[in-house]
Amino acid sequence: MEVLLAKSAGFCFGVKRAVDRVYELAQTSAKIYTYGPIIHNEEVVGDLEKKGVSVIETKEELRQIKEGVIVIRSHGVAKEIYDQIEQQGLECVDATCPFVKRIHNIVEKESANGKQILIIGNAGHPEVEGIMGWSSTPAMVAECAEEIEQIHCNPDQPVCIVSQTTFNYNKFQELVEIFEKKGYDISVVNTICNATEERQTEAKEIAAKVDAMIIIGGRHSSNTRKLYEICSRECADTYFIQTLDDLHLDLPKSVRLVGITAGASTPNKIIEEVQNYVRINF
C-alpha cells in the first residue's frame, strides 16, 4: 500500500508555538493554567494535566485563582480576560497566534474609528468569541448565506469585515459578495490564515488522487471537520479518525493509494502511528 502524506498535516505554526510554550512552563515550579484547552486534542491535554497543567474554562473559574500563570491559547481571548488576569495580579503568558492577534488589533482599531464589525465565522467558536471581545461596539457574526441576509447595519456607519482564521476562502468570498449587494460602505480584510488554506488545498489535491483518504483530528476541531468535508467531495472513501484506535479500515483490494492529512491540533506522533499502521497492514 502506498501512502501519500500531506506535508501540511498536523500542528500549524500557531498551535506548535502555544503547545511548546506550555510544555516549557510545565517544567517550572509555577502553577500553570490554560484558559480553555491549549489545543483540541484530548491526548495532549491529558498529558499536560499529568504534568500539573490545569484547564480553566470560564471567567468564574478564573476568579477563584489566587496565584499562578494563566496561558492564553492560540485561539486568543476577549480583552476583558486580559483585564481580569491583571486585576487579580496573576501572570499572563500570551500564546495567542500572531495571525489571530492581528484580527484583534484590526477589530480594536476599526471599531474605535467608528466602524461596525462583521466577523465571518462561527459565533460559538472560541476564536470568534475572542475577536468579538475586541470590538468597542457589539460585533455581528455570520457563517452562512441565510445569516448574512439577516444582517442589518446602520447605513450611516461603515462596516469592516474580517474572517475567522480557519474559514474556507471560497465561502468567505461568496458571503462577502452577498453582503456587498446590501449597499453599505464596506472594507474587507481577508484574515484567513495561510496554514488553513494550504492544508485545505493540499488535502483536496491528495483526495482527488487517492483511492481512500484518512483525516486525523479531534472531534471538536472545526478545521479538521472542514478537511473532512472537502476531502469527502473528492474521494468517496474518506475516514475521520481521532487516533489510531478509531481506524477500523476494511479496504478493498483495489485500493492502492491512501492519502493522509490531519487537522491543526494533531500531534506528529499520532500521524506517524497512523501512517506506519496503514503501510504495514494493508
Binding residues: 12, 40, 75, 97, 125, 165, 193, 221-223, 265
Residues making contact with ligand F3S (CB under 6 A): 12-15, 74, 97, 99-100, 165-166, 193, 195-196, 264
Active site residue 146: no
Which residue among the candidates 110, 127, 129, 143 is catalytic per the annotation?
127
Minimum CB–partner distance for residue 165 and ligand F3S (Å)? 4
Minimum CB–partner distance for residue 222 and ligand F3S (Å)? 11
Instruction: Please identify, using beta-carbon distances, which residue of 196 and 238 lies nearer to ligand F3S.
Output: 196
Instruction: Please identify, using beta-carbon distances, which residue of 14 and 267 lies nearer to ligand F3S.
Output: 14
Instruction: Please identify, using beta-carbon distances, which residue of 16 and 31 lies nearer to ligand F3S.
Output: 16
Minimum CB–partner distance for residue 66 and ligand F3S (Å)? 30
Instruction: Please identify, using beta-carbon distances, which residue of 15 and 258 lies nearer to ligand F3S.
Output: 15
Annotated binding residues for isopentenyl diphosphate: 40, 75, 125, 221-223, 265
Instruction: Please identify, using beta-carbon distances, which residue of 100 and 210 lies nearer to ligand F3S.
Output: 100
Minimum CB–partner distance for residue 6 and ligand F3S (Å)? 14
Contact 114, 157 (CB under 8 A): yes
d(C-alpha 184, C-alpha 117), whole Å: 12
d(C-alpha 39, C-alpha 9), whole Å: 15
Which residue's beta carbon is nearest to the bound ligand F3S?
14
Minimum CB–partner distance for residue 17 and ligand F3S (Å)? 8
| Total Cβ atoms within 10 A of residue 67 | 10
- Active site positions, annotated: 127
